[in-house]
């Protein structure tokens, strides 16, 4: 996996962060409600809590990437359909679906988010025990849980990370994605408004969507061509073996 893939993951998080504001903006407000008013009203005093929340969130993404990377690396035979790698095919399809989603053409990720909501119901009660937030450790714990919120962007990037076939690379890709979401979720006041205007601009969203669709098509092409090459290689080996047997 090249450095360009990590940059792409960062851009997915950055360009899709309007979705984060819609989904997580209210959560940030709810998590900070238990803090003293003088902390909530002061960007400088509030920043450590926001950083701690998001550190936990990014660690959750990284851990999820590590798990999916371990699964794909240790069960490589499971992630094959005949001669074609399931990881590359699924990753490419998810990337195309994400491009359509970010462009705003169709809510392709809605079914996945609905499915993920069932898992979220299982872990949400643990978060309630940490509220209201009074300390940084509480903020960190809630950040860890926050990272498991049902989110189509997270799921599609996670599916893409599975194509790396390496646990560390998969984890780093998810970390890069999470880092891309940070500017919007950490921004305050006028900066947040400027970022929102940027990510909500139709031309920007369309461009981001088209780039992601093209990237997904590249992943699919690589997966499919890799399968054909592998099949051709096996056929050549089989033909060569038959030729040797005939000579003997």
Question: What percentage of the chain reaches a pLDDT higher than 70?
Answer: 73
Q: Are 131 and 40 in contact (CB under 8 A)?
A: no
Can you tell me the distance from the alpha carbon of 154 to that of 145, in angstroms, rounded to the nearest whole number?
Answer: 14
Q: Are 204 and 37 in contact (CB under 8 A)?
A: no
Can you tell me the distance from the alpha carbon of 245 to that of 179, in angstroms, rounded to the nearest whole number?
Answer: 57
- What is the token pair recorded at 196? 């929102």
Q: Are 117 and 155 in contact (CB under 8 A)?
A: no
- Predicted local confidence at residue 176, as pLDDT: 94
- Predicted local confidence at residue 119, as pLDDT: 79
Asked if the peptide bond before residue 132 counts as cis, ω within 30 degrees of 0, the response is yes
pLDDT tens-digit profile of 135-190? 899 889 988 988 888 887 888 888 888 877 789 999 999 999 999 988 877 775 54
Domain ranges across the chain? 3-247
- Predicted local confidence at residue 23, as pLDDT: 61
- Predicted local confidence at residue 190, as pLDDT: 47
**pLDDT reading at 246 higher than 60:** no
Across the range 27-47, mean pLDDT stands at: 79
- Predicted local confidence at residue 174, as pLDDT: 95
Residue recorded with tokens 């714990």? 141
pLDDT tens-digit profile of 44-63? 888 898 899 899 999 999 99
Residue ranges of alpha helices (H) inside 33-165 are: 37-40, 43-74, 86-103, 110-128, 136-146, 152-161
pLDDT tens-digit profile of 187-235? 755 455 566 666 667 887 788 788 888 878 887 887 777 654 444 444 5
């Amino acid at each position: 996996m090249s450095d360009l893939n990590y940059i792409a993951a960062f851009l997915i998080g950055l360009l899709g962060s309007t979705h984060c504001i819609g989904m997580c903006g209210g959560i940030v407000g709810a998590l900070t409600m238990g803090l003293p008013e003088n902390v909530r009203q002061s960007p400088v005093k509030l920043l450590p809590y926001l950083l701690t929340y998001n550190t936990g969130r990014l660690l959750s993404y990284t851990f999820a990437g590590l798990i999916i990377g371990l699964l794909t690396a240790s069960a490589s035979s499971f992630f094959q359909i005949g001669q074609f790698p399931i990881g590359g095919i699924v990753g490419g399809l998810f990337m195309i679906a994400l491009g359509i989603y970010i462009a705003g053409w169709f809510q392709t990720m809605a079914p996945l988010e609905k499915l993920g909501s069932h898992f979220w119901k299982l872990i949400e009660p643990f978060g309630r025990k940490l509220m209201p937030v009074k300390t940084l450790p509480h903020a960190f714990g809630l950040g860890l849980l926050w990272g498991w919120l049902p989110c189509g962007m997270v799921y599609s990037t996670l599916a893409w990370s599975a194509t790396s076939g390496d646990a560390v690379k998969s984890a780093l890709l998810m970390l890069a994605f999470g880092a891309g979401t940070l500017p919007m979720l950490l921004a305050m006041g006028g900066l947040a408004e400027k970022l929102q205007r940027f990510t909500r601009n139709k031309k920007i969203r369309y461009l981001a969507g088209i780039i992601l669709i093209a990237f997904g098509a590249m992943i699919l092409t690589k997966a499919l061509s890799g399968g054909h090459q592998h099949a051709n290689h096996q056929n050549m080996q089989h033909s060569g073996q038959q030729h040797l047997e005939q000579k003997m």
